[in-house]
Structure 1
Amino acid sequence: MKTSPGLLYSVLDLSPILEGETAAQSFRHSLNLAQHAEKWGYHRYWVAEHHNIPGVASAATSVVIGYIAGGTTTIRVGSGGIMLPNHAPLVIAEQFGTLESLYPGRIDLGLGRAPGGDQATARALRRGLSSSGDTFPADVQELQQYLGSALPGQSVRAVPGQGLNVPLYLLGSSTFSATLAAELGLPFAFASHFAPELLHQALDIYRSQFQPSRALEEPHVMIGVNVFAAETDAEAQRLFTSLQQVFLNLVRGRPRQLLPPVEGMDRLWTPTEAAYVDRMTRCSAVGGPESFRQQIEVLLNDTGADEIIATAHIYDQQARLRSFEIAADVFQSLRGSAH
């Protein structure tokens, strides 16, 4: 149940693999960021499930969560999210029941219905599973049952997991999960950091159809925002080109490891590609401290979000840390203010 006053601010991390580095180095960078985020007042630190993508190391999401939680002490740690159709709900209940047993009161379970990769990868992951995006509502409710109080005569139980009530969050980039989150009375996180087109429609549906539950009395809206803050607008824009290259390579069907920033994108993309990437990254705040703050205020006024979950594909680790530090100062100053 939402009790924290004012704006909450959190981190979404894909443990990006830098060009020329390894997944092992990416995990160390992630833990380093999580330890700083804890110090800077971030509420939660989520990692995301993706598969067969050269620049993303967080495929075994629950394992990474354990690593992050073990290296921190107070920040909530969880998934943003587990792609539930890839897994049997019982397995996820056991994994997150284990995490909650090891790190009590600190584990979140965010759930998505996308594959987290291409269709060939989804088939490889789901061999023998009947789950799909179509079975997602039933899978969520089955998972809730494994984590809730056991029913009389319940023959299959999650051990550990049963009765631990790990909090669930639904993630989405369309109106489907908004409707389901409203129906089940769960918090809703919109993937506006890469798919902003249906943001307002989804939030309107979620808020208007929300049904209070044992988990949540009022709607709780989280929005994904790309945060690229630096000492100057020009430096922030330069850092942002790493993310622009990520989306450009996705558009071209050639995903790569995270590339260093460049001085400008004009020589790298066509006008059509530039327009597409701009649409995908519209929910971003890029600038020096003052312009960054103004952009965040616009996003909050526009969405009325209860929580920002910030993500940043920044190549240089020190620049990445500095971006999240500047962002934390801005978020902290906005806590409790009207938006």
Structure 2
Amino acid sequence: MKMVDRKVIDLVLLNLIVFFTCGQTSFQCPGGVAFLGTEYTIESGTNNYNGLCSISSDKDTNSLEPGTQLTLTVDTTGYYCSVEAGFDLTTGHVTTELGRYNVSDVSDLTINTNFSVDIPRFGDVTIDFICDRNWTVRCNGVQRLLKSPPHCNITSDTDTSTLDPGTNITLTVDLRNYYCSQQAGFTLTTGVITETLLGNQTMDNVTDIVLPHSLNVTSDHFGDVTVTFTCDSVPRPLDCDGVDKLSGATPSTTETSAVTVSNVTTPGLESSTTPTSPSPVEENPPTDATLGLAIGLPVLFILLIILGVIIYRYRRQIDMYLVARKKTQTELQNSNFNKVE
């Protein structure tokens, strides 16, 4: 009798410790209550299942269409509960019971679940572990079910291949068949400029929308044109048809315009119908004269120096030559004078 009383007292004390610990730490304690004859290890933690939950899929969960048949595989390892254990799968706003199990030791479990994807199932994917209470377990693998990206087409009211800065244009973005379980948003990027097309939109079904966007073109807008779809805080660049770039006017266009202006007839003067040959064009005469002078002066200076060196070196020979020449001329004059007499 004393032995039974002792066990009852121990059990009551154990339960008091469990509830006191839960009340002080605000944590959920494993198993809820202690059962007579059951071994318990009290551990501090936010839940009583510290094993791995991993979720995989047979299809790309980032690109699903309503009506798609989807299979999710949930692998659980290292779970235990002294009472009935269970797992619930939540996809978007829909919760599915995966099963209830009784185990006598730490166990592993693989569960397959099949369902048709509809609008309420788009959103976050979570697992709840049930062991007297419910705990949401963080899982690896599939984190959310997302609808396939919307169809996107971009048009413009102006030719986007030859734009001048200061031109006003309107780009129209046509978005079809999109959905987001929380909030949807769209941004438009032109060159290095990103602007909001639509922000924080909530919806309850697949939606279509046409978004016109006007802008005054600057050089910063020149470049690729892209649209980004943000759903549940996840940005997703879209592959859009239509306009994909804004470009400035090409240099060849400017040159052609300059030639056209030069051929305009002056008002008040009659244009001749007789073809005339083009007048010769003097190619930069001031520049050529300056260039010739810059080259000729150094050459002339060098020639004078060479001539001076020659005269200095052969000055005696030159002097002798001049004396001999003068003597010869004198003798010739005397001879001619004698002949006359």
Normalised by the size of structure 1, how large is the TM-score?
0.21
Return the structure number with greater relative CO, CA threshold 8 A, min gap 6.
1
Decide which structure has greater strand share.
2
Structure number with the higher helix fraction is 1
TM-score by length of 2: 0.21
